[in-house]
Structure 1
């Protein structure tokens, strides 16, 4: 079978480029190739393209802030943490954050910062009351993702932002999996997003920074992006990101209805599996499930007709059990018998039904 014949159920890893985003990018890949930072008329025309894209990206973010284009959410998160904190800072992160947050926070801890890891419940949620108990009277930053990329749980970001503010700190939200699907957390101070998770191009993301929050740049050079991110922007990538954000805004209700319908269908067809993480406080385009005794590595090797995941694409190949599944109390054996399925705008009911038949059949053969 060809690669394009496979049923794609890995929408947490990446999404297909929307036709609208593809069309928006085309002029700037060839004919309109000019530098958006040049002062001449052609450069100013490209700058207008960039700023129009920025406006579209910002329509899905809170008011009262500025948006800095980056190479992706990983860079945005690094800029947020390293740009706002110092070796004297006190930082708290949830135990199930993406590696971009965990590794950056651990790097800063290696420079002398104090790092507090907030546990999660068996449902994969940060307990706000427990966080209040664990945190000191003064905190500089709490970092918590809006939607977990592995188990889909939706965190109480706004309550944690209130907690951070009450103790003099900032709230950083990795909103990569929620952006364009859920309302952005209104009281966050820093929000990282990525284009390729909302049917936009890879290679571009953004950091939203609330007015009054001061950052130091990571990348020095020409002083582009309000002096916070030097380097020549790609009008094509910006245009694709902006177009994808515009479509996400107009289709948010329709996309949510489709996702909910596929979630209900998946619950029926994967009835023999146990769901990892909360069933209710969850983005329903994510189904992380386990079946004891199933060797997922063998399952993925045997089953080439369906593209799904055993966890985060960023951590695949490490051979280690998921830190997210460990944090919710699963044993290594349970973690290694878990799979992650994700669907989105271009998924169909047939995708779910056929994938379930193939996955269930392959699992039965292993058992």
Structure 2
């Protein structure tokens, strides 16, 4: 049979899915496959979590004389859902996958645009990012072929050990550090805890932080109270920033550590870390910053910032959950909080998760500045202000904030009620660590935002796959819900009392 005949047979047995059916299938374990061109992906946005297969590679695999095979073609029993630019292209690509043995391949009626319209617009990238398909592909061999313990001395350990150190270098390069200064952890909370609870020092003393920190920092500080270590909380201004003068006044001979996050996850406000760290250094105090929201989004150089400890989190930068790192400047004395075999330079015992370390290293290498996110973020704010004149209020610094973070309060509506009424948008009202609490955000309260306005806050955070079309549609959906005749179904702060 010719290739055309093979495709005709495969296409005849194809059951095509509606976008809603495809979305349900992916929630039940189906694999999403993106067979658009590179230009189409750049123009229309990426498909979070999809495996990318180049169309030319697929066409070569159809030719039995080429000898080429898709690596994914071994997973024959998994449902595969193909997305192309148009519906006809999708069905042809699905038939091609069926022809090379992936018998459960199907496609989405209407192609990419239909899929995007059916899926909620994801504007919660500060909570977590989708795993970049290139990150996933880099990590998979270390869950299968290269499974050895990197600390062993035989042949099976060689490649895992090389991969671990290569990943360490990639993370170090992202922040301007040396590889030996990178300690892999199981995430940001562990890295923050190691930085705070692992600090070697006398019994007693003071840690200086701020009330708008991540709970991992705040709870780690509180956990040291039984050791006689107290915590000083610096005030923040109306933008959520710490004043260098306030830090200068708070330091004394009892101060052990200063921990101030690089950027806030709710408002995106970026702290003046360079000035703050310089003050701490003049006083001989160790300085830690949680860079969970900035690593991979804006340029970081630890020497330029002058920090001694810095937290990196994988799932905020398109790597999986469960992996992070702590930068420890050479000469900074820490003691481990997890004891055992002495891995990670004695600071983090436990057999290293090579696959996740590779994922973090790959994500670090793929990181790029969020210049276009600034444009889209500002467009979203402009559209909301245009459609809801006089009702939209920015929370956070107008310029010194993360490229993809917009936190706004809208008069006359609770943020959580508005999001519940617009299921076409996946966003939040604040940090995912506090989501669900029906109280004003502690971050906004510390900034002096009135309770009613704080309850009306929305945190809309953008990522690599966010498109201009999605931004305009999201603004329109929110505005329409607020101005529609069914507004009575939404509870306002006044009505809630």
TM-score bin (small chain): over 0.9
Which of 125, 137, 156 is the matching residue for 1:42?
A: 156
CA distance, structure 1, for counterparts of residue 264 and residue 138 of structure 2: 30
- Cα contact 2:132–2:319 (8 A) shared by 1: yes
CA distance, structure 1, for counterparts of residue 329 and residue 210 of structure 2: 22
Which of 230, 235, 244 is the matching residue for 2:363?
A: 244
Which of 298, 302, 323 is the matching residue for 1:182?
A: 298
Give the paired residue count: 362
- Cα contact 1:138–1:168 (8 A) shared by 2: no
- 1:117 equivalent in structure 2: 233
Give deviations 1:249-279, integer Å, cap 9, x for gaps: xx33xxx221122022112211141000111
Q: Structure 1 residues 291-300 or 68-77, which shifts more?
A: 291-300
CA distance, structure 2, for counterparts of residue 166 and residue 95 of structure 1: 24
- Cα contact 1:139–1:164 (8 A) shared by 2: no
- 1:76 equivalent in structure 2: 191
CA distance, structure 2, for counterparts of residue 89 and residue 22 of structure 1: 44
CA distance, structure 2, for counterparts of residue 127 and residue 117 of structure 1: 12
Compute the displacement of 1:162 (Å): 0.9
CA distance, structure 2, for counterparts of residue 264 and residue 100 of structure 1: 30
- 2:463 equivalent in structure 1: 344
Compute the displacement of 1:85 (Å): 4.9
Aligned partner of residue 313 in structure 1, secondary structure: coil
Q: Structure 1 residues 48-57 or 265-274, which shifts more?
A: 265-274
1:15 aligns with 2:134: no
- The higher radius of gyration belongs to 2
Which of 400, 407, 417 is the matching residue for 1:281?
A: 400
1:129 aligns with 2:221: no
CA distance, structure 2, for counterparts of residue 109 and residue 167 of structure 1: 23
Give deviations 1:32-70, integer Å, cap 9, x for gaps: 222222211111221111111111011012335610000
Compute the displacement of 1:363 (Å): 2.9
- Cα contact 2:416–2:428 (8 A) shared by 1: no
CA distance, structure 2, for counterparts of residue 79 and residue 279 of structure 1: 33
Which of 29, 33, 37 is the matching residue for 2:147?
A: 33
Compute the displacement of 1:103 (Å): 1.0
1:56 aligns with 2:170: yes
Aligned partner of residue 45 in structure 1, secondary structure: helix
Which of 388, 400, 413 is the matching residue for 1:294?
A: 413
Compute the displacement of 1:292 (Å): 2.2
- Cα contact 2:297–2:403 (8 A) shared by 1: no
- Cα contact 2:200–2:335 (8 A) shared by 1: no
CA distance, structure 2, for counterparts of residue 359 and residue 124 of structure 1: 26
CA distance, structure 2, for counterparts of residue 23 and residue 270 of structure 1: 38
- 1:311 equivalent in structure 2: 430
Structure 2 counterparts to residues 184-203 of structure 1, below 5 A: 184=300, 185-186=302-303, 187-203=306-322
- 2:256 equivalent in structure 1: 140
- 1:228 equivalent in structure 2: 347
Compute the displacement of 1:137 (Å): 5.1
**Structure 1 outlier segments of 4+, above 6 Å:** none
CA distance, structure 2, for counterparts of residue 112 and residue 144 of structure 1: 21
Q: CA RMSD in A?
A: 1.6
CA distance, structure 1, for counterparts of residue 200 and residue 377 of structure 2: 40
Give deviations 1:89-111, integer Å, cap 9, x for gaps: 31100221111111111221343
- Cα contact 2:267–2:405 (8 A) shared by 1: yes
Aligned partner of residue 372 in structure 2, secondary structure: helix
Q: Structure 1 residues 30-39 or 128-137, which shifts more?
A: 128-137
Aligned partner of residue 477 in structure 2, secondary structure: helix
Larger RCO of the pair (alpha carbons < 8 Å, separation 6+): 1
- Cα contact 2:208–2:250 (8 A) shared by 1: no
Give deviations 1:90-135, integer Å, cap 9, x for gaps: 1100221111111111221343112110110001111111222233
In structure 2, runs of 5+ residues without a counterpart are 1-19, 25-117, 493-497
Aligned partner of residue 204 in structure 2, secondary structure: coil
CA distance, structure 2, for counterparts of residue 340 and residue 32 of structure 1: 41
CA distance, structure 1, for counterparts of residue 138 and residue 205 of structure 2: 42
Aligned partner of residue 171 in structure 1, secondary structure: strand
Compute the displacement of 1:329 (Å): 0.4
- 1:353 equivalent in structure 2: 472
- 1:262 equivalent in structure 2: 376
